[in-house]
């Protein structure tokens, strides 16, 4: 089944309108983090080699690496103000702190540090849970993840205390992985490089509400079911560097640590590169 009209409109609104400027800013910041940004202060780049030194990455990674994760603790508020609810709450906290958190600490990369790194770099961080299909063999009944915020889209007006009412997941995905999981998928755009017209990856799109979930690959529906959780399995947190604006611009609300540091990083890199060329 092709992409439904209401989902197409929702996708176009999020990708091409609401998040367009924010994603442009985040892509620029990603270049700084990966040391592939341009340095316009340098004139003739054919004779001066840009000396990248990972300065932007250190602004992001250093705080994340200093997060102490030796003994993280989880707390929970009782559902009711009764003795029975408080006793049940203590049992839940015991499972969280003695079984679940020690297991989560073994994840690679470390989810606690990764969440800080994503918040500092992107300006926000998302948490997601999946049910563990192999739970009877090992692990926990659910799997916790910290996806790249650039793959998650949500209208802030549909979010209450960090919990969204509706979410879209959108990114490029390996078509072979999609085909192995959804065998009826026809690969309508011949992704995977099997022909001259084919592209390397496919557009993957998930739309979640508390009632339903619908997955698309290259605008072809591959899954449509009721939401097995009964809620949207995502939670959202802002880094806190941005501020709200009357026009609701997300590029002003979702701000990473590099947003206002790019110019000084460029200038520092230019100075170091020029001095290196003069001295050596």
**Banded model confidence at residue 1, pLDDT cuts 50, 70, 90:** low
Beta bridge partners of 144: 129
Convert 192-229 to b/e letters by CB count within 10 Å (16 or more is b). Answer: beeeeeeeebbbbbbbbeeeebbbbbbbbbbeeeeeee
Taking all residues of the chain, what is their mean pLDDT, rounded to a whole number?
90
Q: Residue 168, class by beta-carbon neighbours within 10 Å (0-12 exposed, 13-18 middle, 19+ buried)?
A: buried
**Most confident stretch, 38-47, 104-113, 122-131:** 122-131
pLDDT, residue 241, reads 95
pLDDT, residue 80, reads 85
Q: Is residue 214 pLDDT above 60, yes or no?
A: yes
**Banded model confidence at residue 133, pLDDT cuts 50, 70, 90:** confident
Q: Is residue 242 pLDDT above 60, yes or no?
A: yes
Residue 268 and residue 132 in contact, taking contact as beta carbons nearer than 8 Å: no
Phi, psi angle pair for 191, to nearest 5°? -70, 155
Residue 92 and residue 114 in contact, taking contact as beta carbons nearer than 8 Å: no
**Banded model confidence at residue 226, pLDDT cuts 50, 70, 90:** very high
Q: Which two tokens stand for residue 75?
A: 């707390």
CB contact set of 191 (below 8 Å; sequence gap of 6+): 175, 198, 199, 200, 201, 202, 218
Q: Is residue 221 pLDDT above 80, yes or no?
A: yes
User: What CA–CA distances, in Å, run from 105 to 66, 96, 111, 174?
Assistant: 15, 12, 7, 29
Q: Is residue 169 pLDDT above 70, yes or no?
A: yes
pLDDT, residue 262, reads 94
Share of the chain above pLDDT 70, in %: 95
Contacts 24+ apart (CB under 8 A), 174-180: 174/201, 174/202, 175/201, 175/202, 175/217, 178/202, 178/204, 178/217, 178/222
pLDDT, residue 70, reads 73
**Banded model confidence at residue 138, pLDDT cuts 50, 70, 90:** low
Task: Note the pLDDT tens digit of each residue in 19-73.
Answer: 999 999 999 999 999 999 999 888 776 788 888 989 999 999 999 888 776 778 8
CA distance 114 to 110: 6
**Banded model confidence at residue 142, pLDDT cuts 50, 70, 90:** confident
Total Cβ atoms within 10 A of residue 256: 26
CA distance 190 to 197: 7
Average pLDDT over residues 222-247: 95
Convert 54-70 to b/e letters by CB count within 10 Å (16 or more is b). Answer: eebbebbbeebeeeeee
CA distance 117 to 13: 28
State if pTM tops 0.75. yes
Residue 33 and residue 56 in contact, taking contact as beta carbons nearer than 8 Å: yes
Nearest to 100 by CA among 109, 124, 91, 16: 91
């Amino acid at each position: 089944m092709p992409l439904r009209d209401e989902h197409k409109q929702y996708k176009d609104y999020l990708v091409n309108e609401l998040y367009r400027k924010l994603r442009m800013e985040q892509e620029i910041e990603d270049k700084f983090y990966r040391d592939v940004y341009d340095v316009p202060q340098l004139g003739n780049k054919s004779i001066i080699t840009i000396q990248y030194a990972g300065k932007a990455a250190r602004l992001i990674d250093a705080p994340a690496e200093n997060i102490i994760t030796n003994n993280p603790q989880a707390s929970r508020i009782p559902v009711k103000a009764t003795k029975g609810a408080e006793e049940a709450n203590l049992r839940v906290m015991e499972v969280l702190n003695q079984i679940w958190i020690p297991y989560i600490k073994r994840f690679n990369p470390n989810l606690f540090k990764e969440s800080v790194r994503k918040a500092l770099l992107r300006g926000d961080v998302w948490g997601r849970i999946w049910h563990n299909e192999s739970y009877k063999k090992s692990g926990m009944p659910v799997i916790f993840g910290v996806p790249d915020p650039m793959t998650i889209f949500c209208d802030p007006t549909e979010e209450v205390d960090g919990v969204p009412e509706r979410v879209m997941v959108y990114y490029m995905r390996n078509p072979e992985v999609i085909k192995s999981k959804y065998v009826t998928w026809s690969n309508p755009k011949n992704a995977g490089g099997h022909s001259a017209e084919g592209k390397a990856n496919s557009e993957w799109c998930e739309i979640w509400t508390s009632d339903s979930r619908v997955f698309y690959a290259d605008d072809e529906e591959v899954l449509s079911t009721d939401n097995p959780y009964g809620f949207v399995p995502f939670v959202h947190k802002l880094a806190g560097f941005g501020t709200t604006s009357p026009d609701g611009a997300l590029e002003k609300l979702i701000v990473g640590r590099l947003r206002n540091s790019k110019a000084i990083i460029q200038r520092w890199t230019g100075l170091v590169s020029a001095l290196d060329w003069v001295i050596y």
